[in-house]
Every structure is written in C-alpha cells, then in structure tokens.
Amino acid sequence: MSDAAITIENLGKRYTIGHQRGVDEGMRHVIEGAIRAPLARLRSSRQKRLQDVDFWALKNVSCQIKRGEVVGIIGRNGAGKSTLLKILSRITVPTEGRVHINGRIASLLEVGTGFHQELTGRENIFLNGAILGMTREEIVRKFDEIVEFSEIAEFLDTPVKRYSSGMYVRLAFAVAAHLDPEILIIDEVLAVGDASFQKKCLGKMGSFAQSGKTVLFVSHNMEAVRDLCQRAVWLKDGRLNQDGKSEDIIESYFNSFSDTLSFSCTNPDYGLTIRKVLLRNDRGQESSQFHPGDDLIVEISYDAQKRIERPIIALGVLGTGGSCFTSNMLLDGHRPSFLEGAGVLTCTFRAIPLLPQNYTVKMRLQAANVKDVIVPYQEVASFSVVGDLSEYGYKGDFLTWALRSTPVVIPYEWRLPDGTTARVALTRNTF
Amino acid sequence: MPQVIIEAGHTEKQYWRDLWRYRELFYFLAWRDLLVRYKQTFVGVGWSIIRPLLTMIVLTVVFGKLGKMPSGGRPYPLLVLCGMLPWQFFSGAMAESGNSLVANSNLISKVYFPRIIVPVSSVITSFVDFLISAVFLAVLMIWYRFSPPAAVLFLPLFVILMFGVSLGVGLWIAALMVKYRDFRFIVPFIVQFGLYISPVGFQSSVVPQQYRLMYALNPMVGIIDGFRLCLLGGQDSINWGGIAFAIADVIVLLVSGFWYFRKTEQTFADVI
C-alpha cells in the first residue's frame, strides 16, 4: 500500500443529459416547474424520467499507480480520459467510488490557466504560480529559473496581451514546469507551441519522470506516450479496457481500429451523409492490410440531399507518431464543382512508402468558404501495413525495429567509403 | 506526505486544510482584480474618489436641499457619505462576488482550489475601495471640523457586519449564478432598488415609527444606522431593533450562503 501513489477504486462519474432544456438551464423552468409541480408530478413523472438520460462518462474504473511510475492514458475522444483527469485533479467529484492520492499533486489540464491578458509577464508568473498551488515564497525563489526557461526576459514587463502566442505558451509552460509536486497530471499540454518548444517540454517531462516522480500523461500522441511512459492505461467508453506495458497497449489500441465497423456520419445542416469509407488495394479489393509499396485507395461514399458547392476534402494518413502524408484539396485545388445525390469519390495514394506498422486515415470536409467544417477532421478508417522487409531488399539484423521506426521511407541511396552504392525503396519492383 | 481522498459525496475533512494551504490565493486574486481594475483608464484609482463624491453631491442636493430631509444638525454631505460608505461597499461587493465564479469559469473548470476563495477575494477587493472612500470621509470630516463621538470605537463591529452581509449575499448569488444566469439581471436591479429602500440619502428616523421594524428587515438599515451612530453621534433615537435585526440577518445570510455554496460547489465545474 505504501508505495502506491494513486489508488483508484470503482470510480464512476455520471452526467445527466437531456435534463437541460435548450442551451442553459434557465431559472424560468425551475420556477415554472415548481408552480406546476403538484399537477405535473402526477402526470409527467414517467415522462420526465424518459427525458433525463444518464450517461456514465466513467464506470467501474479501478487501478493502482505506484510511486515513480509514468503512466500514459490513451483512448478515443469521449472515452473518459478527461473526466478521469478532472476527478484526479479534484475539479469535479466522482458519482461513485474513491481515489486515494498519496503525495503532493499538481495537475496541468491547460497551459496558462488563469493568465490575465492585461497583466505583465512578471505579474502573471505570480498569479499563475499561486493558482497552480505555489506559495509566494516558492515563486520568488524560482522566479529567475522560470524567466530563464521561458526565454522572454526582455518582455517581462509587457502585458501578455501583446505577446505572440509562442511567447505566451512558453511563459505559461515555464511556470508549470517549475511546480514541484510528487505526482503530476498532464493533459495534452504539449499540443501547443512550435516544434522546438514541444521538444523542450517533452525533455522537461522526461527529466521529471526520471527524477522518480509519478506522472499521469494523457495524450493522443502515441509516440510521446511510448517514449515517456512504461505503462499505459486504455480507456474505452468510460471503462478501463486494458492496462499494461505501454508498447503492448498501444499496439492493441491500434489493432482495435481494424475490427471496428466502417465509418459513417451525417451533417443534417448540410444534408450530407458520409455512408462509408472503404480502403481498397490496387486490385480493387476491400482491405485493411497492405504491403509496403501497394496502392492505397480511399473510397468515400456520400449522399448529399442538398447540393454542396465546391467542397474541400482533405485526407491524412497517420501512424502511431503522427501524420505521414496527406492529400488536400485546399492545397491542390482539385475540388469537385459540387456534390449532389449519392456518389463515390476516391483518392489513390500510389505505392505507399510505409513500414509495417499500424495507421489510421483521417478525413475532413469543408464548405467552399473554408471556414465552415461539414465533416470535422476525424478518423474514418484504419489499416495496417504488413510484410517481410527482407523482400524489399532490407537485410539488417534488427528488422523488428521497423515497428518503432519513423514509418515513411522515401527512396534513398547510400554511397559508402569503399565506393559501393545501395539503393533502398519500399517498392517491390525496384530490385 | 499529504494524503488526499476523493470520494463521492464529501471532502469535508480536507476543506479547511486546503483553505489554509491556498490562503495566499485570497490575496493574489484580490491583487489581480485591483491591478486590472484601473488598467487603461485615464483617471485610474481616482475613480474610487470620484464615484462617491458625485453620488454624494447628487444625494445631498436631492434629499437635503430639494427634499428638505432632517439631518439632526449634522452637515448633510457627511450624513450621506456615512450611508454611502457601507452601501457602496455592499452593492459593489455583492455584484462582484456574485459574478466572480462565472467570470473565473476558466479557472473553475481547469484547476482545483477551494472555490470559496473566488467570491471572498472579490469582497476583499471591494474592501480596498471602501478604505479609499473612508479616507475621503475622514478628509471631509476634518473639513467640516466634525470630530466623531466616543462611539466610533464600535465602528469595527459594523464594518464586520457590513463585510458579513456582503459576503453572505455574494455567496448565494455566486453559487446561484453558476446555474442560473438570470442573476446577471437580478443583481443590478437589487443595487438600484436597494439604494432607495436603504437609508442612504436620508436617516432611517424619517421612516414612520410603525414601519420601523419592518424596515429593519433590510440588514443595511441597521448597518448604515450603526455607521452614522459611530461616526456622527446619535442625536436622534438609536434604533436598537434595527441593529439587532442586522446582526441576525448577517448570521442567517452568512451561514445559509456558506451552506448553499458548499452544497453546490462540487458541481460548479460540471455546470459552469
């Protein structure tokens, strides 16, 4: 028991949906309800119960996190990750179950919580520090370190509303990075800032993890989870689906996509239904398994009840570590002049230069004015690339490492000191 | 090593300990509000003098000169200012703390700290304005060569009552506003209405004797009477009933406000 940092027992959180009428639960309804209550209670008690829909954002979640463990929490949107973090950081209370936290805890659900636009950088360091739970004395002590980390020393007395978004994020993360808790909870904070700053943040988190602190890390960036965390917890529909070594969990997380049913969605405002999105190989067969160098055909079946003028479709192929490649009408400009009625649209990616790993396909559909998103960017299909790399001329001793490599391989050529050359490409007919 | 237990229902035990741990946040939030308040204004902090000054002039002219209300031999501007001091504190503190949770919803939904710090520090912010206005009153009293009676020693009692009633009402409104934004419209109404039903521009002795007790249900009646009694002396009869009512009101409002706040606090992040 003593080496447990966080013990979660049967945790559940229920939200009631449908109880709220309209946008806000106005007082008029309550007063109206109170006046009508004597009558209404007789009549509509059953009806009312039907209106209120209970939704368990989290249910029966139990697990124990040991001191010094770095745990990644993964799962799709709406799987309950954020709810779990909110409960652990005590922003909201659970409906059932209990959590025992052993140690000084700090949580970062957002970078720059409580920053005030009108205040200067210096003032915001104090304000933000206090909100995150530091004492004034602690902030004074770490002030110079924070300023140095943020790299904004010369703008310290400028209101943050004049900062660029990069400066803002750097300052905010600098304050957060100097919290000194025993347990740290982080939610996707790294999704902001430029690449070099993200690297710095990851480095800081890595050193935090190495110094024996307990870290809970929620992210969609599987590469970051795999690099930082030994253990991963996979939440699915509010339940704990799997818990174990992060590599194993991430792999089965990706594998799970190939079992799911075909994607479909409807946007009633535009009268557009995406009926299904299929992946086909170069022989035209539906498939979720491809070989390196195969053609990948993404086939989108739609049904447009209303005419949609010049829509913009973008596709992205993503691996565990993020985007690999994309096709985007916003860039190439080859937009359909309109969509109307039922139809099919395909995009063929020629000779996919991908190593044997798991991938997902994301899609977005925007209206002609770019601003209005008809189908938001989301996962529509997934596939895995399989194959024996030795068939492609690979002859390394560590071919299994391909599973963790950067997935995209464009043709390249080695020229060695002895004058020999070697061409490498993920296409079968090259050799 | 600090231990935290999160459980469905209650977190009572940790509440006071957390409040102590986050005690500096009272100060930081009030400091923020004060810093921000007069940013990008020309007159700056001068506003906390100008507002009571202008209101005092208007009320003196309306009630003292035009309405010819009695002043018990005291300068009418002083009489008005003694009433305005607690009243402006109350209306400001109530409005600010009532709105404070919604105004800080980004904090509420993203980070933990005892929520009660937010409305309380709003009341503290208003108290700073009160102190500035109090200096203004002192200057005015010197100007009129008016020295306060010995009863001034009881002034802190009324300051505490004033603080309590503002916080009590503020807690109620803050917690209710999270769920019912209707209070956005109700608060300015209370402020406007309250100025007339509280003895700000006139003495409460103007109210006919048979209505006095009912009138005193308004806690501000007892508090404003008390302020005048302590600062200007009690030439007219002291309304002990009003003061007793004020004390009872403050206790009821504070206890119930705190109770309701604590009861709804846990759902703030879900509802806001």
Q: Which pLDDT score is estimated for A195?
A: 66
For the segment B108-135, the average pLDDT, to the nearest whole number, is 91
Alpha carbons A335 and A310: distance in angstroms, whole number? 6
Which tokens hold the place of A309?
């003028």
Q: Which pLDDT score is estimated for A19?
A: 47
Alpha carbons A365 and A153: distance in angstroms, whole number? 43
Q: Give how far A215 is from chain B: nearest CA, Å.
A: 17
Q: Which pLDDT score is estimated for A186?
A: 85
Q: How many CB pairs under 8 A join A and B?
A: 112
Which tokens hold the place of B90?
């109350």
Residue of A nearest to B268 (CA): A92
pLDDT means over runs of 10, chain A (431 residues): 82 73 54 59 48 79 90 82 88 89 84 85 92 90 91 90 84 85 79 67 79 84 80 90 88 69 81 90 83 92 92 92 91 92 93 90 92 89 83 78 85 91 77 40
Highest-scoring range by mean pLDDT, B14-23, B134-143, B214-223: B134-143
Contact B8 A98 (CB under 8 A): yes
pLDDT digits (tens, 9 = 90+) for B153-169: 889 999 999 999 999 99
State the pTM of this model: 0.72
Q: Which pLDDT score is estimated for A152?
A: 87
**Which has the minimum average pLDDT: A177-181, B170-174, B214-218, B231-235?**
B231-235
Q: Give how far A194 is from chain B: nearest CA, Å.
A: 23
pLDDT digits (tens, 9 = 90+) for B201-222: 888 888 888 888 788 888 898 8
The DSSP symbol for B151 reads: G
pLDDT digits (tens, 9 = 90+) for B64-83: 888 888 877 788 899 899 99
Q: Which pLDDT score is estimated for A143?
A: 94
pLDDT at B11 over 70: no
Q: Which pLDDT score is estimated for A24?
A: 45
Q: Which long-range contacts (CB under 8 A, 24 or more apart) does B71-74 make?
A: B71/B203, B72/B203, B72/B205, B72/B235, B72/B236, B73/B235, B74/B146, B74/B232, B74/B233, B74/B235
Residue of A nearest to B110 (CA): A109
Nearest CB neighbour to B28, from listed A91, A107, A130: A130
The interface predicted TM-score of the complex, written ipTM, equals: 0.84
Q: Which pLDDT score is estimated for A33?
A: 60
pLDDT digits (tens, 9 = 90+) for A326-347: 999 999 999 999 999 999 999 9
Q: Which pLDDT score is estimated for B257?
A: 94
pLDDT digits (tens, 9 = 90+) for B26-35: 999 999 988 8
**Residue closest to B113 by CA, chosen among B185, B13, B2, B20:** B20
| First CA to last CA distance, chain B | 33
Q: Which residue has the higher pLDDT, B233 or B187?
A: B187
For the segment B7-35, the average pLDDT, to the nearest whole number, is 83
Contact A114 B5 (CB under 8 A): no
Q: Which pLDDT score is estimated for A46?
A: 46
Contact A116 B32 (CB under 8 A): yes
Which tokens hold the place of B56?
């005092």
Instruction: Show which of residues 88-147 on chain A sit within 8 Å of chain B, judged by CB atoms.
Output: 88-105, 107, 109-110, 113-114, 116, 118-119, 123, 126-127, 130-133, 135-136
Looking at every residue in chain B, the average pLDDT score rounds to 87
pLDDT at B106 over 90: no
User: In this structure, which amino acid lies at residue A268?
Assistant: P
Nearest CB neighbour to B180, from listed A26, A127, A135: A26
Q: Which pLDDT score is estimated for A29?
A: 63
